[in-house]
Amino acid sequence: MRKLDKHIEIVSSSALGLSSMSPRSRRAALTILSRRYSHVGVTLVNTLSDLERLVARKPDLVFLGMKFLPANPFLGLQDPDRIWVSEYLDRFGIPNTGSGSLAHRLELNKPLAKQRVLRAGLATSPFIVIRKNESFYNEQITLTYPLFVKPTDRGGGLGVNGQSLVHSFEELHAKVDSITATLRTDSLVEEYLPGREFSVAVLADTYSEQLSVMPIELCAPTSSNGESVLSQEVKTSNTEEIRDVTDVVLRKKIVALASKAYRALGARDYGRIDIRLDSNGTPHFLEANLIPSLISGYGSFPKACVMHMDMGYEAMILHIVDLALLRETNVIAAQATAGEPTLFPSGTVPEPI
């Protein structure tokens, strides 16, 4: 089959904490896209200069595997000033896969994402934020124990372990101190939701506004203390069990929450919404991941595509690219139509407005 004449760059980073795409995922995407497109490459973006060189090459599409760069590379993830890659590429008219920078900003700030979901009238567990190096006291904690503690701006289960579920102020203080010391970031403290946990893959249709919303249940191994936590270790080792959601009523509630949360965050193309049930079985929004793991047989997004759509790994990667290319085609068509003069039948003149 003749390859399509397109230049596609797969873009991520080798800088710690910046890439949402692993080397394995980059290689797999490169192999798949090289079969269809004439020029496919991998670009590692660690500095603004790397990003400038990428733009100078003017690819037809960027397969986005990272969200931002720190404006000051010496500060790294501690730099509050960030260069959002999607926004930067948009500025130069270079199409890119997935969500835009506004959605990425929300996703990477878990408290802001929860606030946006709350404003949309959706359920999420009550929470507070404890700033790094901030003193706090028992009487300030108005939430009901047990609580769940995680970093405000990390994904992939980073900072989540057996000590994330806390039952006392002493345990809470220890976990917050750990997040501050190891990740140097703020802590999100939520009332713990004791019910089942679900990962919901969301994939846009190529030619319509419809979304395929695909929930799967995630069951983490039970620890020695009888608790089940989807920690970084569990996610990295790929040891969680996945199950289809067969309860029709529950499935309908989860799909409705996930699709509404996805739209409330301004996501596009594809992404993942995590949901957990409270003690009454009511689904609550946990967080979003808008560049989820895309490794064959690993991570909930590819597994959901196989389970619900019988969409294999190669078809999934190509579909994500098709969405971005089609969106660019539609933009160009809309711009062309907007620039055309309006033609009126001979002898008629429109009334002035």
Model confidence at 337: pLDDT above 70: no
pLDDT (tens digit per residue) in 227-260: 666 655 655 656 678 899 999 999 999 999 999 9
Closest to 311 in 3D by CA, of 294, 286, 288:
294
Residue 347's pLDDT band (cuts 50, 70, 90): very low
Residue of higher predicted confidence among 155 and 264: 264
226 — pLDDT class (breaks 50, 70, 90): low
Query: Residue 332 above 90 pLDDT?
Result: no
What is the average per-residue pLDDT within 249-272? 97
Concatenated DSSP letters for 17-66? TTBSS-HHHHHHHHHHHHHHEEEEEEEE--SHHHHHHHHHH--SEEEE-B
Give the pair of three-digit tokens for residue 248: 């029709």
Better pLDDT: 30 or 75: 30
**Three-class secondary structure assignment of 225-287:** CCCECCCHHHHHHCCCEEEECCCHHHHHHHHHHHHHHHHHCCCCCEEEEEEEECCCCCEEEEE
* Residue 295 DSSP class: B
Whether residue 349 is predicted with pLDDT greater than 80 in this model: the reply is no
Q: What is the mean pLDDT of residues 287-296?
A: 93
Cα 36 from Cα 313, distance rounded (Å): 15
DSSP 8-state assignment for residue 207: S
Tokens matching residue 202: 């969301």
Both tokens of residue 221?
């191994």
Candidates 69, 4, 72, 14; CA nearest to 43 is 14
Q: Are 117 and 107 in contact (CB under 8 A)?
A: no
Question: Above 80 in pLDDT, residue 225?
Answer: no
Residues 113 and 286: their CA atoms lie apart, in Å, by 9
Domains in the chain: ranges and CATH? 4-96 (3.40.50), 98-123+194-324 (3.30.470.20), 126-192 (3.30.1490.20)
Does residue 342 carry a pLDDT above 90? no
Candidate from 63-72, 130-139, 167-176, 293-302 with smallest mean pLDDT = 293-302
> What is the rounded average pLDDT of the residues 264-275?
97
